[in-house]
Amino acid sequence: MPHRIYVDGEWATASGGTPIPVVNPATEETFDEVPRGGAKDVARAVEAAAAALPAWSARPAAERAELCAAVAKGLEERAGALAETIVDELGMPIKLTRAIQVGAPIRTFASMPEIAAGVAFEERSGTSVVYRDPIGVVGAITPWNYPLHQIAAKVAPALTAGCTVVLKPSEVTPLNAFALAEVMHEAGFPPGVFNLVSGFGPEAGEVLAAHPLVDMISFTGSTRAGRRVAELAAATVKRTALELGGKSPNVLLDDLGDAAFEDAVRKGVAACFLNSGQTCSALTRLLVPRERLAEAERIAAGEAAAYLPGDPRDPATRLGPLVSAAQRERVRGHLRAAAEDGATILTGGPGAPDGLERGYYVRPTVVTGVAPQARIAQEEVFGPVLVILPYDGEDDAVRIANGTPYGLAAGVRAADPERAHRVARRLRAGQIRINDGAHNALAPFGGYKQSGYGREYGRHGLEEFLTTTSVQL
């Protein structure tokens, strides 16, 4: 039902006029469209969510969680088609799309019964009973880079907490959200509990953020857009959770042997280039001991050159296109500015990859020869661009790592795990990976500084959508 919005349990016609085209970034061709929702549509959705809130919040948390688990089963049944859709609208290689873009949201919805069981919705505190109550109507505004994954990270815990939701997905990669709405409808969510309004940020997202009946906005996107959301939300003093940009460091300590150092650099390239670098938590700054700079440059340049851009439907492709022409030009602009400022581009650069004149492709790029304060080392590029920075001693590494406006993620590699942990504890970032530490979907995720506030995933992610009421006995 991609040509209609989903409000109050029904598919409805949007009021915003000309539909929004959906473009395949690998071919530059429009292959579908979605409704252009506006203020009237958002108001209808918010009013439906507010009307549905009392009955939904009164249901036991276990029942709400089981409905979310049913969504996981529905998504799993559609996993193949979902992967094809997301490849077409985003351009992430098919193997990674299946594992991450589809697999992760399925796991998020499926985890809700376990997470809800671990939350104390009622507890005694002295002569009081403290209740954990749903915050109310939640407006969820989600990004284009991990579209269904980020939707699940907000919608599943919000619904399990007892909130009702109005979702405004990215207009760049919106089709997966409509597939989710179909699954949720089939799962039996009551009318008004989940609502979907597609549209542009100024026409739909800003209206949602400002609406007086919305109790909380959960937003993922750029820091610039996050500031605007917070400004609009402040007018009605609603709660906000913001997951914003990053310029995350990957610190290689000086006790790594030759083989371990080479392995760390190669894995550092991979940690930067995932999803063509369109990952807010990508480790985009590689910090290496100054005496090993030349070694790191050689290894990184060779590894990056192996990430040949190509057709995202080819199972052998490791690097797909960027999501849009605007995003491609943004990345190229960063690279041109870095070269003008005297940076050394070891491999890649702003030109189109050979043989890929069609599609929003960029070259995998490694940059060196810049100061930690350089624009390319401070600003989020959001493309396959790795910056290598040398440091002089552990304290200098920590200073450089912490020396940006962001604090979303970080990595530390060392031969001595205890030393790595000690350095990690000095980094101001919301999620830090030590050596080959595995991703934990139940661990909280979120940032320091201009990377935002609030946490997603696991118990902490669910608790973001709860508030407390104390009853004195």
Give the pLDDT means over successive 10-residue stretches in the chain (473 positions): 86 93 98 97 98 98 98 98 98 97 98 97 96 98 98 98 98 98 98 98 97 98 97 98 97 98 98 98 98 98 96 95 97 96 96 92 98 98 98 98 98 98 98 94 96 97 98 96
Please answer whether residues 146 and 103 qualify as being in contact, where contact means their C-beta atoms are separated by less than 8 angstroms. no
DSSP per residue, 242-253: EE----EEEEE-
pLDDT score, position 99 = 97
Q: Of 68, 163, 272, 280, which is the active-site residue?
A: 280
Topology given in CATH for the domain delimited by 5-244+451-472: Aldehyde Dehydrogenase; Chain A, domain 1 (3.40.605)
Q: What whole-number distance in Å separates Cα of residue 48 and Cα of residue 184? A: 16
pLDDT score, position 2 = 60
Report which of 38, 50, 51, 32 is spatially closest to residue 12, judged by C-alpha positions. 38
Angle at 420 between CA 268 and CA 300, to 5 degrees: 20
User: Is the domain covering 248-440 a CATH 3.10.20.340 domain?
Assistant: no
Report which of 140, 437, 150, 100 is spatially closest to residue 280, judged by C-alpha positions. 150
- Does the global pTM surpass 0.95? yes
Please answer whether residues 190 and 9 qualify as being in contact, where contact means their C-beta atoms are separated by less than 8 angstroms. yes
* CA distances for 99 relative to 36, 76, 102, 165, 315, angstroms: 30, 12, 6, 26, 13
Q: Of 171, 203, 206, 243, which is the active-site residue?
A: 243
- Hey, is 342 helix, strand or coil? coil
Q: What whole-number distance in Å separates Cα of residue 152 and Cα of residue 167? A: 11
State in Å, rounded, how far the first CA of the chain is from the last one. 51
pLDDT score, position 357 = 87
Look up 280 and say whether it is catalytic: yes
Please answer whether residues 283 and 252 qualify as being in contact, where contact means their C-beta atoms are separated by less than 8 angstroms. no
pLDDT score, position 54 = 98
Q: What whole-number distance in Å separates Cα of residue 101 and Cα of residue 82? A: 9
For the chain, the C-alpha Rg in angstroms (whole number) is 22
- The residue extents of the domains of the chain are 5-244+451-472, 248-440
Exposure string of 171-203, with b = 16+ CB inside 10 Å and e = fewer, is: bbbbbbbbbbbbbbbebebeebbbbbbbbbbeb
What single DSSP character describes residue 201?
I
Return the number of other C-beta atoms located less than 10 Å from residue 395's C-beta: 11
Look up 379 and say whether it is catalytic: no
pLDDT score, position 208 = 98
Angle at 116 between CA 112 and CA 117, to 5 degrees: 120
Q: If you search the block for the tokens 């019964």, which residue do you land on?
A: 113
